[in-house]
Amino acid sequence: MDALKSFIDLFADPRLFFLTTVVALVLIVWKRETFASDRWGWGLMGFLVVFFGFGLFDENFKLIIGKPDNVPIVALIFLLLFFTWFSMREAVRNDRRLSAGEPPIEKDEEDRVWTWPDLVYTELIAMVLCTVILIVWSIGLEAPLEQPANNANTPNPSKAPWYFLGLQEMLVYFDPWLAGVVLPSLIIVGLMAIPYIDNNPKGNGYYTFNERRAEVTIFLFGFVVLWSSLIILGTFLRGPNWNFFGPFEYWDIHKLEALTNVQLSEYIWVRWLGMALPGNWLVREIFGIILTIVYIGVLPVALAKKGLTGYYEKLGPTRYYVTVLLFLSMMSLPVKMLTRWLFNLKYVVSIPEFFFNI
């Protein structure tokens, strides 16, 4: 038992965690015919139940899962997996019909039914169930209340409310102005832009994957892998000093993680060119600045010429550039993660003179 726990803890590492979620998504999308089977859906749910059931016998696991404010995130894990599976299942079912030349299931259910009783009774049952669940939850679990607020006593770890923990996790890779301000704003802008940049007329009003492959895959990557799984990571696996802890590991305040992150400027000037860092910040950071400009300025244009020409033609210039810029902003997180893990890269551009670090 303990061997199994330490084995799981060994694998619990932000890199492996993230990689696993990405691989899982690739498999879900690629092998969706298999994934969409009922056996897989119930299997996954069963696995989660067993995992959490097993975990509850462990003191450290129980401590973090059982924190009252963390209970909803346990629920989120189940719900998220279930609905990812469920929507893929419905999409696959419809895709089979579509490729056989039949209309989607929703088309067969086009007939109108009476709102009373069909809808109002469903609503009534939903409200009653919702109320019952909420009351049982409220009786069973007391809302937390800690010591009175004290500005002089900082808890370790200090965590934002759970729904912002994905953003807090981004702080490992980006400075606050990006992780806390610019990227969140871009998430909102990006969500709002979706209906205007996606001009694919198909897949309107029914589940499908084949008719909107890129859209669904990108959304799942953003919502399930980046947003949600980082929340789960931030809640359950980040302990004191924002160090990473396995689910069965004791949150040791003294755990040390050697961090020797290096700036891009130091890599280039000092390690490759064997020179001292230039005093002028523009000269010092010129490579990083060029790299950034290439990423957001040149890359989209180059991709329009080669690689994404099809999309460029389908979307037209405005939609294309907005889409690619938003996509590249989203991908800046995994890109920064990878460079950190592979090269210990701290900042691509680092101009502390202006609080400007990328």
Partner 1 sequence: MADTKTIEPKSPALVRAWDWITETQIWTSIFRHSAPINDRNRVLVMLSNVFLHMHPVRLRKSGVRLRYTWCMGGMSFFLFLVLTFTGLLLMFYYRPTLEYAYSDIVGLREHVPLGIMREMHRWGAHAMVITVWLHMFRVFMTGSYKPPREFNWNVGVIMLVLTLLLSFTGYLLPWDQLAIWAITVGSNMARATPFLGHEGPGASLMALGDVQLVHAADDARFALLGGTFVGEGALLRFYVLHCVALPLVIGFLMAVHFWRVRKDGGISGPL
Q: Which of 254, 258, 259, 355 binds partner 1 (CB under 8 A)?
A: 355
Nearer of residues 192 and 282 to partner 1, judged by Cβ: 192
Site map 44..83 versus partner 1, x via CB under 8 A: -------------------------x-xx--xx--xx--x
How near is the Cβ of 166 to partner 1 at its closest, in Å? 12
Alpha-carbon gap, residue 34 to 56, rounded angstroms = 31
Nearer to partner 1, 81 or 237 (CB): 81
The Cα 198–Cα 212 span in angstroms is 10
Give the integer Cα–Cα distance in Å for 283 and 338. 26
CA distances from 132 to 73, 82, 125, 144 (A): 20, 22, 10, 21
Residue in 67, 82, 326 with CA at minimum distance from that of residue 228? 82
Interface with partner 1: number of residues (CB under 8 A): 93
Stretch that binds partner 1, among 11-19, 101-109, 298-306, 331-339 (CB under 8 A): 101-109
Nearer to partner 1, 231 or 304 (CB): 231
Of 49 and 134, the one with the shorter C-beta distance to partner 1 is 134
Task: For the segment 121-180, give every residue that binds partner 1 (CB under 8 A).
Answer: 122-123, 126-127, 130-131, 134-135, 137-139, 141-151, 153-155, 158-164, 167-168, 175-177, 179-180
Closest distance of CB 272 from partner 1, Å: 27
Q: 350: which strand partners?
A: 357
CB of 53 to partner 1, least distance (A): 22
Among 37, 114, 41, 145, CA closest to 83: 41
Contacts of partner 1 in 264-303 (CB under 8 A): none
Segment 173-232, which members bind partner 1 (CB under 8 A)?
Answer: 175-177, 179-182, 188, 191-192, 194-196, 198, 200-208, 212, 216, 219, 223, 228
Task: Give 122 or 318: the residue with its C-beta nearer to partner 1.
Answer: 122
Q: Are 164 and 156 in contact (CB under 8 A)?
A: no
- Opening angle at CA 10, ends 4 and 13, nearest 5: 135
d(CA 28, CA 213): 12
Distance CA(77)–CA(239), nearest Å, equals 19
Please give the C-alpha separations between residue 354 and each of 129, 170, 184, 262, in angstroms, as whole numbers.
Answer: 54, 21, 21, 19
Q: Is 105 in the site for partner 1 (CB under 8 A)?
A: yes
Q: Of the two residues 130 and 301, which places its CB atom closer to partner 1 in the complex?
A: 130
Would you count residue 258 as binding partner 1 (CB under 8 A)?
Answer: no
